[in-house]
Each structure stands twice: as structure tokens, then as C-alpha cells.
Amino acid sequence: MLRFAPSPTGDMHIGNLRVAIFNYIVSKQKNENLIVRIEDTDKERNIEGKDQEILQILGLFGIEYSQVIYQSQNLRFHSAMALQLLHDKKAFSCFCSPEWLDKKREEAKTDKKAYRYDGACENLPDELVIDNMNPFTIRIKQPSEAITVKDHIKGEVAFNPAEVDSFIIMRQDKTPTYNFACAVDDMLSDISLVIRGEDHMSNTPKQDHIRSSLRYDKKIEYAHLPIILNDDGKKMSKRDDASSVKWLLEEGFLPSAITNYLILMGNKPPKEIFTMAEAIEWFNLDNISKAPARFNLDMLKHINREHLKMLDAKELSRYVGFADAEIGEVARIYLEEVRTTKELKAKIEPIFAPKIIPAEFEEQAKIMAVTIKNAPYFEEYEDFKNHIMKESGLKGKNFFKPLRLLLTGAEHGPDVAEVYKYLKNYIGEIVK
């Protein structure tokens, strides 16, 4: 079983989408199910409706999953596991107040040392614990030996016991901490491989330690994906528009193209343009580069155009608001100039909109519009052109400029003869 575990705390970041895509591909390759676990235990950061938005995005990208689990529904299991650890003396109650712990943290900072729990409550006699009316947290005892994490991308990384520390697994309000909930849930769902962002690397030994303290000996495999950098070489953050999946979709990037690019980044694929189904054939986590991947919007635009070219004419027309193969063919001509569906729409819409004619050609355009409206249907552009030229008496620039403006709604663009081929049945709607 694999899992994608988003937090419903904001717009989906492309880094998260990349994690979801990789999980999906590997689940297909391993023929194992993929579950979605909504990590909703941080009540203050949760944003209403984000869970549904995430699921919609997964649907749009063709990422199928067998089940959706809400982490908050597992709270009783988290408490039960904490109790088991206390019972086995693998965990202890800690009465240190938050203020006291903050003070200790400050001291460590002043001494330029990494903060570690000082073990004050680890060996309290049971009588002191039972009689203590103060609020308490539950801490897991730090491991006695180093923990080595084997990662498909990072290789082997060892963490010494002090780095893992005796950390809190249940807060004073009896809610589990993030690492505890995550470790227990991965165990309950029988996860075999965790693919996630490298910002979670330091959590991994803690989560492994929780499970081995619970005597769960299945070894979960890991793959921590390197971060994504923006064009300036900085970590892509909310300030970068392109980091938001929603923004990319609104800008007119196809899900298939975004998927292609997120798989291509920092990878060694056999070709540049491919579909998710093709990637399932050859994708290998071990080929993902250890170095951060750099996001390049221009590259994504290039890939997007290639994916737009792969659509059949009718499908393409849908992206510009029609359901008509001929309009799709016109759109295909404009693909020479543009790379997103938003840009494509901006080319096709003016064709059917009332025309804005520069003053210089206003008179000629009026004459030409009347001529076109009175003209019969012509199969060939040459015949159409000759007829309009003859009937309107217009020549040269005075003929070609207004003709282009009336037929395409723009002063510049592709060969009018090419466009006419697909628009000839719509002349009545275009020149009104």
C-alpha cells in the first residue's frame, strides 16, 4: 500500500502534486493500492474545503486512489498506541511546562547548541507520576542506537540517538503530535513505501523509532524527493505563482503537460514528451536526481504546446470554448504562435467577436463586410478572394488588411488562406 498524505492547509503546491504523481505511478508499477490520507489534525491551520479541492485536483490529473482517510478519525488509535508505549515503559509522562521548555530552548540557542530534552521526567518514580495533578505530555524514550534510513534517492542516512531525542508524541491536550499520528497511521494502513518531500527527511528516524518501539518490524521503504527551486535558484514558495497547481491550470496548462514536466524534472526519461501511462512503463525512483530540481516555466510552456498538438481537433476546440473539429483545426494553426489554452482562447475569441477596425481601414472594411455578406459560398479561398476583390473594387493593402481584420479579428497572424480552409462554413457568423 502506498499513500499520499496532504495537509488541507492551502492551495496545492506543485511539489505536493509531484509527490502524488510519483506515488500513483509506483502504486501502478507495484500493483498496490494508493490511499489518500488527509492530515487534518492541525485544526488551526486547516482550511475548510481544501480537502475537496485536493481530491478534485487528483481527479483532474487522473490519479486514482482506493480510499480517502481523515487522520482525525484515527485519534482513538493514536491514544491506544501511546498507552501501549507507556505500559511497555517505552514512553513516559513529562510534566515540564511549556515555559520551562522554552527557557531551555533559549539557553541552548545562547550556547549555540542543538536543543535536546534533558531527560528530567524520564525516570520519575510512579508515585510522583500518579499524584501529580499537573498537565503532562507523553514522550517516547530516545533510541539506544543510531537509526539508519535507507532512501531510494538519498541513499543511506544515519541519525544518532540524540538527534532523534526523547520527543513528545502526545500533547497536554491529549492530541497526537504530527510524527506520532503519521507513524501510527502508516503502520495501520500497512504502507510499504513512503514517497514524500525531503523536508520530511528528519522526521523519518522518529517515525521509524515510534514503530519499532511498538514492536512493528515491517521495514517501510522511503523516497524523499528533492525540493523544487524557482528561476532564481530559491525554494519555490507561495510567492511564486507557478508553485500553485490552481494557478497553472488557470493559466491554461494541461494536466497532462504539467504531469509530463513534473516527471521530467531531475529525472532521466527515455524521451521528453510522454503521457503518464507511458511513464508507468519506465519510471524508476532510483533515477531521480539528489540535487534540487529547477522549475522553468518556459520549458513547461514548450511541453504544453506539444501536448496541445497531441489532442484531436474536437478536443482542442473544447479548450477554446467550442465543440467543433473545424474550430479545433483553426486553433491548431494558432499553436504555432501560442503555448497555453488561455493564449489560444485569446486568439480564437476575436474571430467571432464584433471587430475593432482601425480608423484607417474603417471605410474599406464597411464595403468589404457588405460584399462578403452578399457573396455566395466558395469552397476555395482563391475563388472567395477573387470574388470579393472584384465586387468590392478594393486592392492591395486596402483589400488585404480589412480582409484579415474581418476574418480573424487581428492585424497580424497566420496565412488567411489557411484559416479560410476551416472557417469557410462560418463566414456568416464571423462577418456580421
The binding site for ligand GLU (CB under 6 A) comprises 5-7, 39, 182, 196, 200
* Residue from 214, 134, 118 nearest 166 by CA: 118
The residue nearest ligand GLU at its CB is: 196
Residue 169 or 388 having the CB closest to ligand GLU:
169
Distance in Å, CB of 4 to ligand GLU, minimum: 7
Identity of the residue, 227 or 427, whose beta carbon is nearer to ligand GLU in the bound complex: 227
Of 35 and 394, CB closest to ligand GLU: 35
Closer residue to ligand GLU, CB minimum distance, 225 or 431: 225
Shortest spacing between CB 280 and ligand GLU, in angstroms = 21
CA separation (Å) from 111 to 100, 107, 165, 228?
17, 6, 19, 34
Nearer to ligand GLU, 7 or 340 (CB): 7
| Residue with Cβ nearer ligand GLU (5 or 36) | 5
**Residue 323, all three cell numbers:** 465543440
Q: Which is nearer to ligand GLU, 71 or 340 (CB)?
A: 71
Least distance (Å) between residue 34 CB and ligand GLU = 13
What is the nearest approach in angstroms of ligand GLU to the Cβ of residue 76? 20
Radius of gyration of the chain measured on its C-alpha atoms = 31
* CA–CA separation, 15 and 242 (whole Å): 11
Residue in this structure with the C-alpha cell 509522562, named with its chain if needed: 93
Closest CB 84 distance from ligand GLU, rounded Å:
22
For residue 13, the minimal CB distance to ligand GLU (Å) is: 9
Min CB(216)–ligand GLU separation in Å: 16
Nearer of residues 5 and 121 to ligand GLU, judged by Cβ: 5
Query: Could you tell me the smallest distance in angstroms from the CB atom of residue 292 to ligand GLU?
Result: 17
Angle, in degrees to the nearest 10, between helices 325-334 and 341-352: 120
Measure the CA angle with vertex 273, ends 280 and 293; round to 5°.
80
In the complex, least distance from residue 119 CB atom to ligand GLU, rounded to whole angstroms: 28
Residue whose CB is less far from ligand GLU, 19 or 405:
19
